Structure 1
């Protein structure tokens, strides 16, 4: 089987991709890792690794560098996803999983169509009752986030207040797009400690 995981940052896409790789031998394509590799020469000067490194490089929507870097991030995301899908298309007999980024829904429609044609798109849902928790997680440990036009500061707000107010709107906007892209959805109970890879596969296969 060939799966792709979609959803907001922090919903378990990388966690379950790694579990499938480690416990079931799936070949994993991590878009964030591939983007980081593309940017390696620039990121090395920041002295960080992983998604936090990408987040620092991209910046927040109030940073001067954010507009240019967020556009470049999406360009690289389209490149690495396209490259991954071409490899998958040439070797469809393996068990594979694509760990997409939260911003996959902003990619060109033809690329998303290819993703649906070649993989079973699994949406790791974000229920409304954990939105506040996700906001706090984001503020405490920022991930690279594409905001589009949903970051709208008010005159009487500081930067953190604007992020906290606008993030739920970003979630609602994205949830609608994730639902449209998904072939199947997995509820929040996947985060329970007793939930196993076998449980996940029984739902998505």
Structure 2
């Protein structure tokens, strides 16, 4: 006698189809032209299925991006720690510029940024579920460098992260220049000049 389909497995398949459909549509037509109806049609589900899990388009796009990112739902973010802060930061920053230059990543993160500007609830979700855990992982790596004397002990780590990442984010946001490995390395070099212990 055939077994009944597993509802949990079916639900997870539907959820993944919705997230994939949201990513594809944002990349293909842009955030403004994506609708819940279009996501439902692409995913092969009813609109009510989407509204059961998400309150609107911005929330779906956020989860689609979160699933795409390294952090994922588990929040298992770690940065390399080889003992060489310069090498480790260059590895991370090169990966970051590559990610921001990747169209599959770039379209949903631009869409998410547009939505965050006008949706405080989504902005809070973004900080809690993605930006916050990622920043904590970055600060943990910087603390490790402070402990071994590679960064000044009195460096404000929140400010240090802004110093390192804000130029990259601004260049990406304004499309004001190329995102290249050389640019990533230059940011790290400048950051370390500002944060190394005084001689």
Q: Tell me the TM-score normalised to structure 2 length.
A: 0.32
Q: When you count strand as a share of all residues, which structure comes out higher?
A: 1
Rg bigger for which structure?
2
Larger RCO: 1 or 2 (CA < 8 Å, sep 6+): 1
Q: When you count helix as a share of all residues, which structure comes out higher?
A: 2
